[in-house]
Amino acid sequence: MQENKKIGLRAAISIGIGGMIGGGIFGVLGLAVSSVKGATPVAFLLGGIIALLTSYTYVKLSLKHSDRGGTAKFINLGFGKGIFSGGINNILWVSYIIMISLNAYAFGSYAPNVLPIIDKNTDFHIYASFVILFATFINYFSIKVVSKTEAIAVVIKLSILFLFVIVGIFVLDKSPHISQLAVSNWESPLQIATCGMVIFLAYQGFELIANAAPDIKNPERNVPKAFYYSLLFVILIYIIISGLTVASLPIHRIVNTKNYVLAEAAKPMLGKTGFTTIAITAMISTFSAINVSLYGSSRVSYENALEKELPEQFTKKIWQKPVGLLFTTICTLIITNFLDIESISTAGSFGFLLIFATINYIGFRKYSEIKGSLFISFIGFLLCVGALVILITKQLKSNKLGVFVVLTIIFTCFILEWFYKKVVLKKKGKH
């Protein structure tokens, strides 16, 4: 690629910020406040710390082994093209699908507040399904439309969120509910840690910078800055927004409106106009995230098939797009319409924590080769593993469905990978 076609630091940071501030904050904020009340900013901080430590390993791997395959290529580099790496890479693909479902769930929750009421019992399902199908149509129609939509959406959502933050800070001292942020209103440390892991999915998008690393100018200087600056910015934004939300509304009202709480939190500051503006912003943001992620997810399945980690049928194309796009759409429709937001968030967060634990372990094993810190990668690995244990242990008591979904996904990904490599490829003489 020619130098003038490469992207600068600002664009690289935008990739990270755009990947993180999608449906995450709109979809899981209410869930977090309902779970830990005044400690919600702390929960977002805990998730951010794990993401920040993991980004260190991503930086080192991106500089040493720059590849547009990003995470999937790093996993193959660390473990070879075996059953384990294949299973993990397929979990990566499924985790992307779950992230799309979270965005669709958020869209379906906000849309009935500003769009016509069709049927109160099915409005969510109608709007959530529509946005998935419409985004799929656009992906088949033109990838240029997808990229242009995302560029516009990033500007809109950041502008509106900045307005929310600025106005919120100015009126914060006048809020009658600011005392809800007091430590006396926090849940137990274990509950806060669990919440931070459930909503960890909101930070997932920073790893997309690794895919863009080969196209970034002055990578030695700009790749680290892109990872660290984008994450620090998003962590700060999440902490401020979650704090303002807790301080703006009584907890019972947040619980009752948790699926569209950010719009509800704008009411005391900006009235009905603020509510509508945030709701529309949420719809634009989640739609653009679905739009981009659908194509990206289908590319993951395509690349996995090329690496013989998925059946070769996934290298085929339908209407000039990878067959994985259609498969991803079908899976997203099922997950969005049949799982609740907590189960979706738990499954997605577990998937990415498992993947990031694997990446940190690779950084730990290859610290000398990538000129990294043995200590930082090891701490990142331990925190990810600890987060997984806390998440599963706590969720077993309160959300058995979410745990069942997680274990089913992991078991299915590894069993199918084993069967494909040991039976199908062996039979074909390709393994």
Long-range CB contacts (< 8 A, 24+ apart) of 417-425?
417/83, 417/86, 417/87, 417/90, 417/309, 418/83, 418/87, 420/86, 420/309, 420/310, 420/311, 421/82, 421/83, 421/86, 421/308, 422/83, 424/311, 425/308
Tens-digit pLDDT profile for residues 315-369: 787 777 778 888 999 999 999 999 999 999 999 999 999 999 999 999 999 999 9
Alpha-carbon distances, residue 409 vs 99, 173, 402, 415 (angstroms): 14, 46, 11, 10
Tell me what pLDDT residue 218 has.
Answer: 94
CA 61 from centre of chain: 21
| Residues 6+ away with beta carbon under 8 Å from 100 | 132, 289, 290, 293, 294, 297, 328, 332
- Structure-model confidence comparison of residues 426 and 94, the more confident one: 94
Tens-digit pLDDT profile for residues 171-184: 887 888 899 999 99
* Mean confidence (pLDDT) of the chain: 89
Q: pLDDT above 70 covers what percent of the chain?
A: 95
Tens-digit pLDDT profile for residues 204-230: 889 989 988 998 999 999 999 999 999
pLDDT at 2 over 50: no
Rounded Cα–Cα distance for residues 267 and 254 (Å): 12
pLDDT at 312 over 70: yes
Tell me what pLDDT residue 390 has.
Answer: 93
Tell me what pLDDT residue 421 has.
Answer: 84
Tens-digit pLDDT profile for residues 18-43: 888 876 788 899 999 999 999 999 99
pLDDT band (50, 70, 90) for residue 119 = confident
pLDDT at 4 over 60: no
pLDDT band (50, 70, 90) for residue 406 = very high
pLDDT band (50, 70, 90) for residue 125 = very high
CATH number at residue 15: 1.20.1740.10
Both structure tokens of 380: 């990142």
Domain count of the chain?
Answer: 1
Q: If you average pLDDT over each of 1-5, 79-83, 300-304, 363-367, which comes out highest? A: 363-367
Averaged pLDDT for residues 272-301? 87
Tens-digit pLDDT profile for residues 60-106: 999 999 988 889 899 999 998 889 999 999 999 999 999 999 999 99
| Residues 6+ away with beta carbon under 8 Å from 300 | 72, 89, 92, 93, 96, 324
pLDDT at 237 over 70: yes
Tell me what pLDDT residue 143 has.
Answer: 60
Q: pLDDT above 90 covers what percent of the chain?
A: 59
Rounded Cα–Cα distance for residues 107 and 257 (Å): 14
pLDDT at 296 over 80: no
Tens-digit pLDDT profile for residues 245-255: 999 999 999 99
Tell me what pLDDT residue 188 has.
Answer: 93
Tell me what pLDDT residue 104 has.
Answer: 94
pLDDT band (50, 70, 90) for residue 170 = confident
Q: What range does the domain containing 224 cover? A: 3-428
Tell me what pLDDT residue 303 has.
Answer: 81
pLDDT at 150 over 60: yes
Both structure tokens of 36: 């830990």
